[in-house]
C-alpha cells in the first residue's frame, strides 16, 4: 500500500493475452493501494531509435556523433528530449518496474529495447564506477513478465532452445542489475496461444495470485550461478 | 569472388569506429570480387516497431491484432510492406550476412533488433517445424561484428559481466541458427573508445586481415556447449 509501480508494456493489442496480464496487474496492484503508472509503448508510439533528436539544443561534439556521450552530457545539463525526461521521472518515482511483453527472438521486442537504450542513460541509471550493486537506481525492484511462443519443454536445459534463464541474463543482469535495480523471479506464461481456454484462465489466475504476495518476495541472487548453473 | 554479402549496419555516425569497420568490410569484400549491399539502418530511418503498418491491405483477423500471425499471412499472399519486402530480397540473395553495431545493454541496438523482428517473419525465415537446422535460410552464413564499451577483461568468465558468449546466445543461436543460418566466429572490438590510436589501428588492420581469409573459415558449432561450457 502506497507503493509506486511503473508497468512498461509492449503489445499492440489490448485484447491479447499480454493485454489481459497488464489489466490484471493494474487492477490487483491498484486494489492493494499501490499507485500504478503504465507506459503503453505502442499506444504512445514510443520512439525506439537512438538518434540526435534525443538531445535538445547544441551537441557536445557535433563533429562526430556519439550517442552515449551526448545523452550523458545532455542529461547533466537537463537537455534530453521531453519523452525521455518523462520516462525517467516515472522510473525515478517507482518502487517497482514491471516489464510486460511477448518474447520476440529470445529477447524483448525492439520497441521495449529502445526504451532501455534511450531512457537508461549514463548519469541517470549508472555512471563511471557506479554500476551493478553500485548502480544509480538502487532501492528499486524489477520484474520481467512475458509470454513465449514455444512451450515450457522447449526452454529447458538440454533442449534445443536451452534454459530460459540463458535468455534472461542480458535483460535482468545486463540491464537491471547493471543499474542497481533488484530483480524478482521472472513471470513466464508459456505458449498462451497454443493452450486451452481453461489453461489460459489458470495462467491469469496464477498472475493475480502472485501479485497478492508480491511485496513479500525476496529478489533473486542475480549472479552467473542463477543463470548458468 | 562472386559471393553476395549483405551488411546490416547500425551506427548513427559514419566517422565512428563502427563506421570505419563498415568501410573496411565494403572495400575489402568488393576488392575480392564480392557484391556488397549495405542496409544503413539509421540513414534509412529504418522502422523498428512491429505494427499493423507492416501489413498492406486487409488483416487476417481484424478483431484482435496478432503480429506473428498477420505477418505470416501477409508474407504468403505477398502483402508485407515495401520496406520489409526489400530487406527480405537482400537477405534472400545474400551468401553472408554481416551485422555491424555497437553493443547496447548486452545486446544489439533497438533499431537492429527491429530489423530482426520485422524482416525475419514466419514463412520467410522459418516455419512450422522448419527451424534451427531445418530453418528456411540455409546455405547462408552470418557474422556478428560489434564494439563494446567495456574492456575484454570485463567480459570473461568469472568477471561481473560474465563471458561474452553468454550475450551471443540470443543473437547467434536464438535468431540466426533458428533460421538455419550458419554462424561464423563473432568479431569483437573491445572498448575502441578507451584505447590508444595505435591500438585502434591494430584493431582495424585485424578486421581487414580476417576478411581476407573469411571464405575459408568454418562455422562455429552453434550449440549450448559453445556458449556455456
Residue A12 belongs to a domain with what CATH number? 3.40.50.360
The nearest alpha carbon in chain A to B52 belongs to A12
- Pairwise CB contact (< 8 Å): B110 & A50: yes
> Residues A178, A180, A184, A187: what is their CA dihedral angle, to the nearest 10 degrees?
-40
Q: Between A and B, how many CB-CB pairs are < 8 A?
A: 149
Q: How many domains does one find in chain A? A: 1
The nearest alpha carbon in chain B to A193 belongs to B66
The strand pairing partners of B80, in sequence order, are B55
Q: What is the pLDDT of residue B144?
A: 98
CA distance A43 to chain B (A): 11
The nearest alpha carbon in chain A to B65 belongs to A13
ipTM over 0.95: yes
- Pairwise CB contact (< 8 Å): B169 & A160: no
Close Cβ partners of A127 (under 8 Å, ≥ 6 residues apart)? A136
Query: What whole-number percentage of chain B has pLDDT above 90?
Result: 96
* Mutation for testing the B interface, residue in A17, A170, A200, A225 having most B CBs under 10 Å: A170
Per-residue pLDDT at B1 exceeds 80 = no
- Pairwise CB contact (< 8 Å): B50 & A174: no
Q: What is the pLDDT of residue A186?
A: 98
Q: What is the pLDDT of residue B158?
A: 85
* pLDDT band, very low/low/confident/very high, at A214 (cuts 50, 70, 90): very high
The kind and range of the H/E element at A30 are helix A17-31
The model's pLDDT over B97-121, given as tens digits with 9 standing for 90+, comes to 999 999 999 999 999 999 999 999 9
* pLDDT band, very low/low/confident/very high, at B180 (cuts 50, 70, 90): very high
DSSP secondary structure string for all residues of chain B: ---EEEEEE--S-TTSHHHHHHHHHHHHHHHTT-EEEEEETTTTT------GGGB-S--S-SSS--HHHHHHHHHHTT-B-HHHHHHHHHHHH-SEEEEEEE-BTTB--HHHHHHHHHHS-BTTTBBTTB-GGG-SSTT-EEEEEEE-SS-GGGGSTTSTT--HHHHHIIIIIIIIGGGT-EEPPPEEE--GGGS-HHHHHHHHHHHHHHHHTGGGPPPP--SHHHHH-
Show the domain range for B143: 4-228
- Pairwise CB contact (< 8 Å): B105 & A111: no
CA distance B162 to chain A (A): 7
The model's pLDDT over A61-109, given as tens digits with 9 standing for 90+, comes to 999 999 999 999 999 999 999 999 999 999 999 999 999 999 999 999 9
- Pairwise CB contact (< 8 Å): B106 & A169: yes
The nearest alpha carbon in chain A to B224 belongs to A162
- Pairwise CB contact (< 8 Å): A174 & B116: no
- Pairwise CB contact (< 8 Å): A117 & B105: yes
Among the partner-chain residues A48, A67, A106, the one whose CB lies closest to the CB of B170 is: A106
Q: Which residue has the higher pLDDT, A125 or A160?
A: A125
Per-residue pLDDT at A1 exceeds 80 = no
Amino acid at each position: 500500500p502506497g507503493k509506486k509501480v511503473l508497468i512498461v508494456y509492449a503489445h499492440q493489442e489490448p485484447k491479447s493475452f499480454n493485454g489481459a496480464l497488464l489489466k490484471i496487474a493494474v487492477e490487483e496492484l491498484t486494489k492493494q493501494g499501490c499507485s500504478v503508472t503504465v507506459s503503453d509503448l505502442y499506444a504512445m508510439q514510443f520512439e525506439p531509435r537512438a538518434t540526435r533528436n534525443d538531445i535538445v539544443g547544441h551537441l557536445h561534439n557535433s563533429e562526430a556523433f556519439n550517442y552515449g556521450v551526448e545523452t550523458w552530457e545532455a542529461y547533466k545539463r537537463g537537455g534530453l528530449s521531453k519523452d525521455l525526461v518523462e520516462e525517467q521521472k516515472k522510473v525515478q518515482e517507482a518502487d517497482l518496474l514491471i516489464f510486460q511483453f511477448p518474447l520476440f527472438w529470445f529477447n524483448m521486442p525492439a520497441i521495449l529495447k529502445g526504451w532501455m537504450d534511450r531512457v537508461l542513460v549514463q548519469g541517470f541509471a549508472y555512471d563511471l564506477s557506479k554500476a551493478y550493486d553500485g548502480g544509480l537506481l538502487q532501492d528499486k525492484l524489477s520484474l520481467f513478465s512475458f509470454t513465449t511462443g514455444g512451450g515450457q519443454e522447449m526452454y529447458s536445459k538440454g533442449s534445443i532452445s536451452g534454459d530460459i534463464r540463458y535468455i534472461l541474463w542480458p535483460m535482468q543482469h545486463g540491464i537491471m542489475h547493471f543499474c542497481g535495480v533488484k530483480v524478482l523471479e521472472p513471470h513466464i506464461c508459456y505458449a498462451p496461444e497454443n493452450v486451452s481456454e481453461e489453461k489460459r484462465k489458470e495462467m491469469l489466475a496464477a498472475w493475480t495470485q502472485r501479485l497478492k504476495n508480491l511485496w513479500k518476495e525476496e529478489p533473486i541472487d542475480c549472479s552467473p550461478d542463477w543463470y548458468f548453473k
